[in-house]
Structure 1
Amino acid sequence: MRPSFTAPATLRPGDRVAVVSPSFAAPGRFPAVHERAMTRLRDEFALKPVEYPTTRRVGADPRDRAADLMAAYRDPDIRAVLATIGGDDQLTVLPHLDPAAFTADPKPYFGYSDNTNLLNWLWNQGIAAWHGGSTMVHLGRPGGLHPESAASLRAALFGGGDVELRPADAFSEDEGDWNDPASLEVEAPTLPGPGWHWHQPDRVVTAPTWGGNLEILHWNLAANRWIRPVEDYAGCVLLIETSEEMPAAEEVFRMLRNAGERGLLAQFPAVLVGLAKASSIDRPTARQDRDRYREEQRAAVLRALADYNPTAMAVFDVDFGHTDPQWVLPYGGSLTVDGPGRRIVAHYPDNRGR
């Protein structure tokens, strides 16, 4: 049966928060970006960041990264845990985690991308968390925090109540070079937001969320270790988004097809699909090609839904995941997708708990 979720605790100004690197220790490679993020965490959110031994240690052993996570959760003075960035090997950290360290004090965890591994692991322990909130990418953002990202993170940290999401008027997907000090001062160029694309908006669904980065979910399915019986996801809202590696549309379809063959894709009455990143610093693409890429991504998801969940409602190009601005969304917490009203409402509970 689906776990009963413990809502993330709400913070107060002055609280101490752990800043950890369970995946790539980007602060060790790009200290200037990290320091800027920590300054903003202190100055703009009135929180006290606490680093751990592997926060800046590039290539740290998975057991050491697991030890840092457990130390953060066991420390009663730490009230939230924030991931610095994603990576590609957090799956190897999970076997070294002791669930008791997390369930005794289920404080909120923030992360996305490779952190889908830990979000999913916490979900299995009945601990709701937050999808989003990278310190390096969004707190260390050139030109300052994006107002929508900051407001979303603030709502998740401090309890914002019911917040209606809005399509971004403009977004950015062109990164600067973190090795170039000049790029840290220049805000990235923006493109007009595409708005949301609704598919079969014929119902209202309020339910816990599950999902995250599609590539990482596929790894979890392949490992066959951290996925529950498919019935445990029945009625949830599925969140899916793709990374800066920009998987081809056919690959997206195949990953969803595999989930469909397992019976997993059929469990979700509503699906939110993040705005697909269509260019990166390692794979820059011409702007005229980006709209076509996103159209192909939407078509791939719709093709999989037609085969494995034809009655599902879906919303495309929502600003979460690998995008700027980024909504920090409940993970295991509650989200409302109102098809007839064309509305999405995230529920950020005020749960002081102390």
Structure 2
Amino acid sequence: MLKPRRLKTGSKIAVASPSSGVPYLFPDIYELGLKNLRDLFGFEIVEMPTARMSPEELYKNPKLRAEDLNRAFADDSIDGIIASIGGYESVRILKYLDTEMILKSPKFIMGYSDATAYLTYLNSLGMVTFYGPSIMSGFAQLKHLPIQFEQHLNEFLFDDFGLLSYKTYDKWCDKYKDWNNKETIGQCESFYENEGWLFLQGEEMTEGVLWGGCIEVLEFLKGTKYWPDKKFWNDKVLFFEMSEDKPLPLQVGYMLRNYGIQGILDNVKGIMFGRPKGYSEEEKEELYKTVENIFRIEFGITDIPIVMNMDFGHTDPKIIVPLGCKVSINPKTKEVMLLENPFI
């Protein structure tokens, strides 16, 4: 896999809006995210032309959004790219990406939710990409989240580690306070104690290469030229999470079942699910049962590990998951470990 150069204090980070124009609607929370990147990590921010464009302008101009990414990859002075926030139709920018140029100059690129479309596409072409916090959802809340989050970001982005053991955060939240209220900007509504990750099945440690994202966004890619071919799925660890649209457990089952029908689940080494946003305890139990039934009953897959409620996706704080890097899952020790550094 093509890996980007490691970030450092003073690195130039391009900020773009490949998915939607939410910074235009909520400039204060956007500015707070930029400030935290500068103050806490020492990054130099380069705002791309689309970063603050209106939602209407961005919706009508997917090519402009793609050109921002092309421009950021082409600029040798820029070290990384972080999405302002997600949305729902960045799949429309894929045909305008200059993939030949991008692959010649791989860079750190990170987002989550709708960013799944371009992160998985670029990864399927051979480049490591990063599923993690965005400017407005993650970085803007950083000072109000457990200190472990800032520690994880510093270790992941700056340290020259060989192995990285993913840890659960002490607390988590799934709702922000009103972004229009300057007195509480960047704060979460409430926190919940982290009960740890749930290992649904699996007894032996397995290793595989990470790939995935928001399970609903991945549905936009199925059956298109942006969907990986059959050989791609060998030895993968798939990771999925659900958006704030909160698909029913039954609907998640529909999506997951399709991976089984395609033969993908027969070839993977493990499955990781992020903590679902807004689910009741009853809905979580229904989700666990649905996932378990699809693997064990419908497709007879009982040996690979399946981990639920991991700290990535639409709850905070998030871990960074690098698509294209090898990870191990050990059901006996309840440990998930990144086995390689995602940077050069």
Shorter-chain TM-score bucket reads over 0.9
The alpha-carbon deviation at position 351 of structure 1 amounts to 3.8
| Aligned pairs for 1:265-304 within 5 A | 265-278=265-278, 290-304=280-294
Aligned to 2:200: 199
In structure 2, distance between residues paired with 1:185 and 1:132:
17
Aligned to 1:285: none
The alpha-carbon deviation at position 142 of structure 1 amounts to 7.2
| Aligned pairs for 1:1-150 within 5 A | 5-59=1-55, 60=58, 61-141=61-141, 143-150=143-150
On the 8 A contact 2:85/2:137 being kept in 1, the answer is yes
In structure 2, distance between residues paired with 1:348 and 1:231:
22
Relative to 1, partners in 2 of residues 1:85 and 1:160: Cα closer, same or farther, differing over 3 Å? farther
Relative to 1, partners in 2 of residues 1:263 and 1:50: Cα closer, same or farther, differing over 3 Å? same
The alpha-carbon deviation at position 328 of structure 1 amounts to 0.8
Aligned to 2:317: 325
In structure 1, distance between residues paired with 2:305 and 2:342:
29
State the SS of the aligned residue for 2:106: coil
On the 8 A contact 2:63/2:93 being kept in 1, the answer is yes
On the 8 A contact 1:29/1:58 being kept in 2, the answer is yes
- In structure 2, give the amino acid aligned to 1:150: E
In structure 2, distance between residues paired with 1:62 and 1:88:
12
Q: 1:146-200 deviations in whole A, cap 9, x for unaligned?
A: 4233233323322352221222332111221212223316443111213111133
Q: Please, which runs of 5 or more residues in structure 1 have no aligned partner?
A: 280-289
Q: 143-152 vs 164-173, which deviates more?
A: 143-152
Number of residue pairs aligned between Structure 1 and Structure 2: 337
State the SS of the aligned residue for 1:139: coil
Identity over aligned pairs, percent? 28
Q: Please, which runs of 5 or more residues in structure 2 have no aligned partner?
A: none
State the SS of the aligned residue for 1:206: strand
Q: 1:307-335 deviations in whole A, cap 9, x for unaligned?
A: 23333210111111111111111111122
Q: 1:202-260 deviations in whole A, cap 9, x for unaligned?
A: 22222210011100112211x42211222311111110111111100110000111221
In structure 2, distance between residues paired with 1:186 and 1:235:
40
Relative to 1, partners in 2 of residues 1:174 and 1:229: Cα closer, same or farther, differing over 3 Å? same
- In structure 2, give the amino acid aligned to 1:317: N
The alpha-carbon deviation at position 124 of structure 1 amounts to 1.6
State the SS of the aligned residue for 1:7: coil
Aligned to 2:332: 340
- In structure 1, give the amino acid aligned to 2:183: A
Relative to 1, partners in 2 of residues 1:350 and 1:126: Cα closer, same or farther, differing over 3 Å? closer
Aligned to 2:304: 312
The alpha-carbon deviation at position 267 of structure 1 amounts to 2.1
In structure 1, distance between residues paired with 2:342 and 2:86:
27
In structure 1, distance between residues paired with 2:65 and 2:220:
20
The alpha-carbon deviation at position 291 of structure 1 amounts to 1.3
1:236 is aligned to 2:236: yes
On the 8 A contact 1:113/1:321 being kept in 2, the answer is yes
The alpha-carbon deviation at position 100 of structure 1 amounts to 1.6
State the SS of the aligned residue for 2:137: helix
Q: 266-275 vs 69-78, which deviates more?
A: 266-275
State the SS of the aligned residue for 2:266: helix
Aligned to 1:286: none
Q: 200-209 vs 40-49, which deviates more?
A: 200-209
| Aligned pairs for 1:198-217 within 5 A | 198-217=199-218
Relative to 1, partners in 2 of residues 1:351 and 1:170: Cα closer, same or farther, differing over 3 Å? closer
Q: 121-130 vs 228-237, which deviates more?
A: 228-237
Q: 1:9-34 deviations in whole A, cap 9, x for unaligned?
A: 21121111111110012211111111
The alpha-carbon deviation at position 350 of structure 1 amounts to 7.2
Q: 1:327-348 deviations in whole A, cap 9, x for unaligned?
A: 1111111222122222111246
State the SS of the aligned residue for 1:341: coil
Considering only aligned residues, what root-mean-square deviation do their CA atoms show, in Å? 1.8
On the 8 A contact 1:178/1:184 being kept in 2, the answer is yes
Q: 89-98 vs 134-143, which deviates more?
A: 134-143
- In structure 2, give the amino acid aligned to 1:218: E
In structure 1, distance between residues paired with 2:97 and 2:3:
21
State the SS of the aligned residue for 1:267: coil
Relative to 1, partners in 2 of residues 1:192 and 1:104: Cα closer, same or farther, differing over 3 Å? same
In structure 2, distance between residues paired with 1:187 and 1:224:
38
TM-score (norm 1): 0.90
Relative to 1, partners in 2 of residues 1:81 and 1:119: Cα closer, same or farther, differing over 3 Å? same
